[in-house]
Amino acid sequence: MKLYCLSGHPTLPCNVLKFKSTTIMLDCGLDTTSVLNFLPLPLVHSPRLSKLPGWISKDGTINLEKKELLDLSTIDVILISNYHCMMALPYITEHTGFTGTVYATEPTLQIGRLLMEELVNFMERVPKAQSATSWKNKDMQRLLPGPLKDAVDVWTWKRCYGIQEVNSALSRVQLVGYSQKVELFGAVQVSPLSSGYSLGSSNWIIQSHHEKVAYVSGSSLLTTHPQPMDQSSLKNSDVLILTGLTQMPTANPDGMLGEFCSNLAMTIRAGGNVLVPCYSSGVIYDLLECLYQFIDSANLGTTPFYFISPVANSSLEFSQIFAEWLCHNKQTKVYLPEPPFPHAELIQTNKLKHYPSIHGDFSSDFRQPCVVFTGHPSLRFGDVVHFMELWGKSGLNTIIFTEPDFSYLDALAPYQPLAMKCVYCPIDTRLNFHQVAKLLKEVQPLHVVCPEQYTQPPMTQSHRSDLMLELQPPPMPYRRCSVLNLPFRRRYERVYILPELAHSLVPTEVKPGVSIATVSAVLHSKDNKHTLQSVPKPPPVPPTKKRKRVMEEPPVAPKPLLSGAVPLEAFLATLQMHGITEVKVEETADGHILHLQAEDTLIQLEEDGTHIVCDNNEPLRTTLRDLVLRFLQKL
């Protein structure tokens, strides 16, 4: 069993597991941090950006985490754990010869689709007249300034996919429910488990009858909107692949939420606007729920909240129809029947308004001071670019970063100098090191595999030994492009004995509680399922006139192994019963030699062997053979 690690990003993993001759890709996250190397894509012409000397601003390009470690067309299935970890799907399913199936839960598919559509929309509505590629040439890259010069493998950076590729990629998705057992080629069973991180997010169990691999990716133990994490089903795994821990191990999500609210209220009261760059699904639901409770107490009842995204409406609508995937509290609401999320009420009371973009209706409804939720959190594309240009110059306004995926300083870099206040309260609900240690203690995997980042403290806080995984035995670290041999051997395989054969077996007890039976059977293997059935009786030989060649082929029925010993006294008694009385017994170093005088035959009896020397008397030999066999166990 091998694990190919195609991504070094611990929260956007992409691993390939080869298990019982199936090739399973675990997630395909898209690392978009490379867009930070590009200038923002403004929605309206920006004199400032276009007057920058030198390099021309360019379409966002994306760092695709894959290398020619293995042929992607050989991948049989892709298991998706949550919608953030499927953004590279079109790159894998299109143009690589991929012919397999993708498995994901329904919310993951629907919200993943929204996020992809949003990304495509962001890119396509600001088409570039020209796009440069020659800078990717190594010689040119050397001459570039700053971090771009040191970026690795820029030639693997690809242009964003289009809507057609998204549709085609997503058409390969097969929907699964939590705890559904999906058979892959009869060899392996995979099953998604609730991971508690986002709507429909899942961990995966990949198992055969005797081996179990748990894939843990983006899990949360906090009570937010999704169904709680299923921990017990992770128990007894041989290998646990651990990815997607929190990116903010020192930031407490609850504290951050509090800070978010208080900063928001403060800015509004001072007459400023609040900009929240965020993804269109996920934490935003929790932010809105928190604000729902906070608005009245903070006297924000008249402040407009705007959610601007091409998929804002869909995201809000979809969140309300996945009751089965929500936590218990929200689930019980639909029985009333009420929408599970309170943002329905915010919309109804006109406190929250959503728009596909800043153009159209929004420009006429727009009132300040206000709160705007919009993407993309990298501040390089999407409507957020416009608000940065609009509000950046005033110290009254505040930008509050809640998404942990991008360094906020890097994100802000192209907008400097900036008068606007910046608040950084990243909310990452994924497991922290303390929780993961507890979890692993609970589920007791034999081996843990994790990104190498988790085996040492973060670079900036090298003294914090609590910010790493310490396990016994130590976890097996991987980095981008590693190939790990997972440490377990398959020893048993499930086969089925057909009833007819099962009835014909004769068990004998060899020890108290242990019985054995010899099995002679025909093995049938079909679709990786093995069955044993009785050996068919040879068809009766048709009567033939050629009597000559009847005895040509000896029968083939291999005999079992023997075990035990032949006791002398009992054996002599048995011989006597069969009319063999003249026996001379001679003691030797290892046992006895019996001389059957009348028959001129020798039997050598020893602890671990019996030797019958019998000339030219086949009936006698077979009789003696059967007598000896009476004392032995057959295996």
Element (H, E) at 192: strand 188-194
Residue from 321, 390, 437, 471 that binds other proteins (CB under 8 A)? 321
Report the alpha-carbon angle 100-102-106, nearest 5.
155
Residue from 68, 130, 616, 619 that binds other proteins (CB under 8 A)? 616
Contact flag: residue 209 with other proteins (CB under 8 A): yes
Q: Which stretch binds other proteins (CB under 8 A): 54-62, 235-243, 293-301, 309-317?
A: 309-317
Contact flag: residue 470 with other proteins (CB under 8 A): no
Contact flag: residue 324 with other proteins (CB under 8 A): yes
Tell me how far, at minimum, the Cβ of 78 lies from other proteins, in Å. Answer: 19
Tell me how far, at minimum, the Cβ of 631 lies from other proteins, in Å. Answer: 9
- Between CA 460 and CA 183 the distance in angstroms is 45
Contact flag: residue 75 with other proteins (CB under 8 A): no
Q: Which stretch binds other proteins (CB under 8 A): 96-104, 364-372, 558-566, 578-586?
A: 558-566
Contact between 106 and 200 (Cβ < 8 Å) = yes
User: Which single residue is written with the structure tokens 């600001």?
Assistant: 126
Residue from 97, 147, 360, 507 that binds other proteins (CB under 8 A)? 507
Residue from 58, 125, 530, 592 that binds other proteins (CB under 8 A)? 530
Residue from 158, 159, 359, 524 that binds other proteins (CB under 8 A)? 524
Write phi, then psi, for 35 (nearest 5 degrees): -65, -20
Residue from 565, 572, 583, 593 that binds other proteins (CB under 8 A)? 565
Of 300 and 347, the one with the shorter C-beta distance to other proteins is 347
Q: Which stretch binds other proteins (CB under 8 A): 50-58, 60-68, 422-430, 502-510?
A: 502-510
Tell me how far, at minimum, the Cβ of 611 lies from other proteins, in Å. Answer: 5
Tell me how far, at minimum, the Cβ of 49 lies from other proteins, in Å. Answer: 34
Beta strand ranges found along 425-488 (DSSP E)? 447-451, 476-478, 483-485
Write phi, then psi, for 310 (nearest 5 degrees): -60, -20
Query: How many residues contact other proteins, by CB under 8 A?
Result: 94
Residue 183: count other Cβ atoms within 10 Å of its Cβ. 12
Residue from 263, 313, 407, 574 that binds other proteins (CB under 8 A)? 313
Element (H, E) at 146: helix 146-150
- Between CA 393 and CA 371 the distance in angstroms is 17
Residue from 129, 152, 556, 589 that binds other proteins (CB under 8 A)? 556
Residue from 56, 163, 446, 519 that binds other proteins (CB under 8 A)? 519
Token reading at 597: 């005088």
Contact between 23 and 76 (Cβ < 8 Å) = yes
Token reading at 127: 């088409």
- Between CA 202 and CA 193 the distance in angstroms is 5
Q: In the 8-state DSSP scheme, what is residue 585?
A: E
Contact flag: residue 531 with other proteins (CB under 8 A): yes
Tell me how far, at minimum, the Cβ of 325 lies from other proteins, in Å. Answer: 8
Query: CA dist 446 to 240, 472, 483, 512, Å?
Result: 8, 10, 19, 32
Of 143 and 523, the one with the shorter C-beta distance to other proteins is 523
Residue from 266, 481, 505, 593 that binds other proteins (CB under 8 A)? 505
Tell me how far, at minimum, the Cβ of 567 lies from other proteins, in Å. Answer: 12
Contact flag: residue 45 with other proteins (CB under 8 A): no
Contact flag: residue 574 with other proteins (CB under 8 A): no
Scan residues 234-273 and list those touching other proteins (CB under 8 A): none
- Between CA 198 and CA 283 the distance in angstroms is 8
Query: CA dist 205 to 26, 183, 192, 208, 460, Å?
Result: 11, 12, 6, 10, 34
Region of 394 on the Ramachandran plot (φ > 0 left; ψ -120 to 50 alpha; else beta):
beta
Contact flag: residue 628 with other proteins (CB under 8 A): yes
Token reading at 510: 């060899």
Report the alpha-carbon angle 420-424-430, nearest 5.
155
Of 188 and 371, the one with the shorter C-beta distance to other proteins is 188
Residue from 226, 249, 339, 377 that binds other proteins (CB under 8 A)? 339
Tell me how far, at minimum, the Cβ of 617 lies from other proteins, in Å. Answer: 9
- Between CA 217 and CA 207 the distance in angstroms is 17
Tell me how far, at minimum, the Cβ of 512 lies from other proteins, in Å. Answer: 10
Scan residues 91-150 and list those touching other proteins (CB under 8 A): 106
Tell me how far, at minimum, the Cβ of 373 lies from other proteins, in Å. Answer: 18
Contact flag: residue 497 with other proteins (CB under 8 A): yes
Of 143 and 557, the one with the shorter C-beta distance to other proteins is 557
Tell me how far, at minimum, the Cβ of 302 lies from other proteins, in Å. Answer: 28
Tell me how far, at minimum, the Cβ of 1 lies from other proteins, in Å. Answer: 13
Element (H, E) at 277: strand 274-277
Tell me how far, at minimum, the Cβ of 287 lies from other proteins, in Å. Answer: 21
Contact between 79 and 175 (Cβ < 8 Å) = no
Strand 173-176 to 61-63 pairing: unpaired
Report long-range pairs for 296-303 (Cβ below 8 Å, ≥24 apart): 298/261, 298/265, 299/269, 300/265, 300/268, 301/351, 303/268, 303/369, 303/370, 303/371
Strand 274-277 to 398-401 pairing: parallel
Contact flag: residue 625 with other proteins (CB under 8 A): yes
Contact between 264 and 274 (Cβ < 8 Å) = yes
Contact flag: residue 151 with other proteins (CB under 8 A): no
Contact flag: residue 570 with other proteins (CB under 8 A): no
Tell me how far, at minimum, the Cβ of 604 lies from other proteins, in Å. Answer: 9
Contact flag: residue 569 with other proteins (CB under 8 A): no
Residue from 121, 263, 368, 633 that binds other proteins (CB under 8 A)? 633
Contact flag: residue 540 with other proteins (CB under 8 A): no
Tell me how far, at minimum, the Cβ of 338 lies from other proteins, in Å. Answer: 8
Report long-range pairs for 459-466 (Cβ below 8 Å, ≥24 apart): 461/250, 464/250, 466/433, 466/434
